[in-house]
Amino acid sequence: MPGSGFTDRYLTADETREIVRAGLASMSLAGKRVLFIIPDGTRTMPMPQLFALFREMLGGKVAALDFLVALGTHPPMDDGQLSRLVGTPVVAGRAGDSRIFNHEWADPATFVTIGEIPAAEIAELSGGRLAQSVAVSLNRRIFDYDQIVICGPVFPHEVVGFSGGNKYYFPGIAGADVINFTHWLGALITNFEIIGSGYTPVRAVIDRAASMVTVPTACFALVVTPAGMAGLYFGSAREAWERASALSAQRHIVWLDAPVHQVLSVMPEMYADLWTAGKGMYKIEPVVADGGEVIIYAPHIREVSFTHGHLIEEVGYHCRDYFLAQPERFARYPGGVLAHSTHVKGQGSYDATTGIETPRVTVTLATGISPERCRRINLGYRDPASIDVAAWSAHEPSARPPEGGLAPARRDGAQRQGCGNEPSARPPEGGLAPARRDGAQRQGCCNSREGVLVVPRAGEMLYRLKR
């Protein structure tokens, strides 16, 4: 099937065009109604480039060429946001002859149940962690089309291991039951164990649910960074995802020699609330030492969650064991909300006798969310105005952080040592640092002596320890 990818360079415009041309040609789409399922604005992706190619190559040849934004449970996008997403004016949900739909996840009338995964099969797929039947429902709009084409990027992911592929069905345009189930299953395994780990029990459940979709489905799976498209693969949703996730494991994981004790995750503005900016913890947790701290720095964020904020205010952020020890207390809350809570809080323990919860890592918000709300939701607070990102990133020992900032410079005057992500390789404006000759991606400033890591564009690159 068409597709290629590289660890040491990016696809050219001509290479991208040829992969798209070959993929579309293989489906014989003339006269058919075609629906592309695409990501929202919380993913790095050259959607304008692909949107233009799809319209150029299929316009006037197919009966319909429409797009459905896989929101999951994210807020709907207005015409202005959709225009930026696809790179052309969108007016009243239309770009020329193409309609662009938001997934209307809050309206039960927009769903249809297509089957059920029996409890016995769930027990097998989940490795015995859960044993309950799961209703499989999807946006009924897809059944108005002759061909579905999933088009989206693949990154290390906290719930499923790597995103992309059939994840654009579940949770992208899925009903609540399967969303809450898969997210809670991922939480039981923990973000620490599942993120970037390949084919997982959650992925197995998603693929099983997707097997119930009767509309022919193909997939363009991308591997992208802010600097370019490293890979583009076409095929079935599973085949394209497998090839893209293998490349993502090479392009999207930064390997450190030693744990760090403090991390400053600088979140880009595409993350508008903590529900999405929690990735500043998810992608960093595996390299943080016991007792360490992750600071999510995002002065632009003022909301916990535009969609689920009221529930998170009630529940707060807690480790997995806190919820497992009190199942009746939290039974009425959606599994997706509890999963988000545990993913942000990270690993930890809970003593049901004393009521004491002990997180492995402290998570601190340096956002527009007030100190009072941070205390209420069980997270730390730091005034974002007190953080000078440039000072935190400086690699000279004399460049001390602001009061209450990073660990102080060593008194013995030792120089900071690199960790394979040397801060001297400064990233381009708005992007990652240049690719290394071995194909690895540099990102972040690491001071291994002081145990400090600054991630200038957090949320997509995963950090792991070599050992």
Q: What is the mean pLDDT of residues 31-58?
A: 95
Q: 431 pLDDT exceeds 80? A: no
Pair 248, 428: CB distance under 8 Å: no
pLDDT band (50, 70, 90) for residue 236:
very high
What separation in angstroms does the CA of 126 have from each of 82, 202, 206? 37, 7, 11
320-347 pLDDT per residue, tens: 999 999 999 999 999 999 999 999 999 9
Concatenated DSSP letters of 430-461: TSPPPBPTTSPBP-SEEETTTTEEEETTTTSS
194-222 pLDDT per residue, tens: 999 989 999 999 999 999 999 999 999 99
pLDDT value at residue 443: 54
Q: 187 pLDDT exceeds 90? A: yes
Give the strand pairing for 217-225 and 228-235.
antiparallel
Please provide residue 157's backbone torsions phi and psi, each rounded to the nearest 5 degrees: -135, 140
pLDDT value at residue 394: 79
Enumerate domains of the chain plus CATH numbers.
3-251 (3.40.50.11440), 254-465 (3.90.226.30)
252-275 pLDDT per residue, tens: 999 999 999 999 999 999 999 999
Using DSSP, state whether 332 is helix, strand or coil. Answer: coil
Determine the Cα–Cα distance for residues 455 and 31; give it in Å rounded to an integer.
48
Q: 424 pLDDT exceeds 50? A: no
Compute how many other C-beta atoms are within 10 angstroms of the C-beta atom of residue 169. 26
Please indicate, yes or no, whether the overall pTM of this predicted structure exceeds 0.75: yes
Nearest one of 452, 160, 76, 170 to 289, comparing CA atoms: 452
pLDDT value at residue 370: 97
356-407 pLDDT per residue, tens: 999 999 999 999 999 999 999 999 999 999 999 999 987 533 333 333 333 3
pLDDT band (50, 70, 90) for residue 1:
confident
Pair 85, 47: CB distance under 8 Å: yes
Q: What is the mean pLDDT of residues 58-87?
A: 95
Q: Which residue type occupies 381?
A: Y
